[in-house]
Chain A
């Protein structure tokens, strides 16, 4: 995707946001339609539950609606929206975990229960394993991993949308793969 096309896309989104701020319902609906699947991918990557993810998509846009006036033109809208959604997902996971255990724990602990193929072959599920491993990644690495592998975006596209350098995206991705590999080492067999 060319830089100029990306600029027009952003200009369009800014125009829609302005209209939505003025109370144009259709403009807001267009924003939801454009970004709902991206938010769903992020939510599902963190919860692995369809209904919870749909609730989180809805909650994200309700929060966006309340915060419309806080958006400053020129900033990356997508990065801002993903940040809102990520915060809601983290809160959701914390609440869910504390409901189960009766106390609050850190997000990293949520990815700590990985079944090994040898220990329990019936529970060995590659999708579940990678999802929990990704959950344990630091925030930026996790976002780059999700956008690249689950949303199918190229390094350059991620860089444009998050407004960071393409080299940084590559390096974050490399580190993420290394870390996921280390987390899954017992399941993959052999040492690190």
Chain B
């Protein structure tokens, strides 16, 4: 005899006590006269109790494991392995160098010979020298510009990272009302000050995107600094919404990645 399909779908919810009252009563009534469904329900219940006995066994086994030690051990092992694999190529080139002393001597000789010939026979006309000097100056100003930009990028990444960390810490609080600790407020103040100094560097047109996100963060921190030290659940939720609506954390990640890539 087969159990009735319209009832078997609700057996799990029935056994878990999650069925609506009326449906539960209906099913209980049906079970009184349907032996096939009763048998089916008993088997389902047996499977669930077997699963719970396995869960109990699992729990007991897990209690015997020192999880703190395990995570440390695994991390150490991973680091050791990465160190070993990064050392291999060095050893390979070292061995190659050792096994080829003649080739190495030859290469050094050629380079020295070339340099000597260059210095002996090279003569330069005045206009050529002038051109060379101008090129040198252009190169120098380019270099300074690049260094400035790299510094600005680094400082922006640093600012974004610290802001991201702080935002995560503030927003992950689950309690309805949480204290904005003295330290957090200090960090917000520091970040606001840093932003003021960063503004000059962010004026560069190549950092326009970063400027936009930094401005949004600054606005949020300004608002946070004006709130009372005890954040109410409503205020915390409003901050969360603001972060979510503006997709602030995602944008921080993207801008950071972009900055890091362009730094290379």
A110 at the interface (CB under 8 A from B): no
* Residues of A near any B CB (own CB < 8 A): 4-5, 7-9, 11-12, 14-15, 18, 25, 28-29, 32-33, 36-37, 40-41, 44-45, 50, 54, 57-58, 61-62, 65, 73, 126-127, 129-131, 145, 149-150, 152, 173-174, 177, 180-181, 184-185, 188, 190
Docked complex Cα distance between A185 and B44 (Å): 10
Total number of B residues with any Cβ neighbor in A under 8 Å:
45
- B61: contacting residue among A18, A44, A131, A184, CB under 8 A: A44
Complex contacts, B81 vs chain A, CB 8 Å? 62, 65
Complex contacts, A61 vs chain B, CB 8 Å? 74, 78
What are 20 A-B contacts with C-beta separation under 8 Å? A5-B174, A15-B168, A25-B75, A25-B79, A33-B71, A54-B70, A61-B78, A62-B78, A65-B82, A126-B50, A127-B50, A127-B54, A130-B50, A130-B54, A149-B51, A150-B54, A150-B58, A181-B47, A184-B50, A188-B43
Additional 7 contacts, C-beta under 8 A, given A14-B253, A33-B68, A131-B54: A29-B72, A29-B75, A126-B49, A126-B54, A149-B51, A180-B47, A181-B43
Report yes or no: A29 in contact with B77, Cβ–Cβ below 8 A. no
Docked complex Cα distance between A184 and B113 (Å): 85
Complex contacts, A41 vs chain B, CB 8 Å? 58, 62
Interfacial residues of chain B within 42-58, with CB under 8 A of chain A in the complex: 43-44, 46-55, 57-58
Docked complex Cα distance between A113 and B165 (Å): 52
Report yes or no: A127 in contact with B53, Cβ–Cβ below 8 A. yes
Complex contacts, A7 vs chain B, CB 8 Å? 244
- Nearest Cβ in chain B — how far from A34, in angstroms? 9
Complex contacts, B48 vs chain A, CB 8 Å? 149, 177
Docked complex Cα distance between A62 and B47 (Å): 35
Docked complex Cα distance between A184 and B43 (Å): 9
B67 at the interface (CB under 8 A from A): yes
Complex contacts, B58 vs chain A, CB 8 Å? 41, 44-45, 150
Complex contacts, A40 vs chain B, CB 8 Å? 62, 65
Docked complex Cα distance between A150 and B49 (Å): 12
* Residues of B near any A CB (own CB < 8 A): 9, 12, 39, 43-44, 46-55, 57-58, 61-62, 64-65, 67-68, 70-75, 77-79, 81-82, 164-165, 168, 171-172, 174, 240, 244, 249-250, 253
Complex contacts, B52 vs chain A, CB 8 Å? 149
Nearest CB in chain A to that of B40: its residue:
A181
Docked complex Cα distance between A60 and B62 (Å): 17
Complex contacts, A15 vs chain B, CB 8 Å? 164-165, 168
- Nearest Cβ in chain A — how far from B41, in angstroms? 11
* 7 smallest beta-carbon distances between A and B, as pairs: A130-B50, A149-B51, A32-B71, A65-B78, A126-B50, A29-B75, A33-B71
Report yes or no: A8 in contact with B62, Cβ–Cβ below 8 A. no
Nearest CB in chain B to that of A129: its residue:
B50
Report yes or no: A57 in contact with B74, Cβ–Cβ below 8 A. yes
- Nearest Cβ in chain A — how far from B25, in angstroms? 22
Report yes or no: B70 in contact with A57, Cβ–Cβ below 8 A. yes
Docked complex Cα distance between A130 and B62 (Å): 18
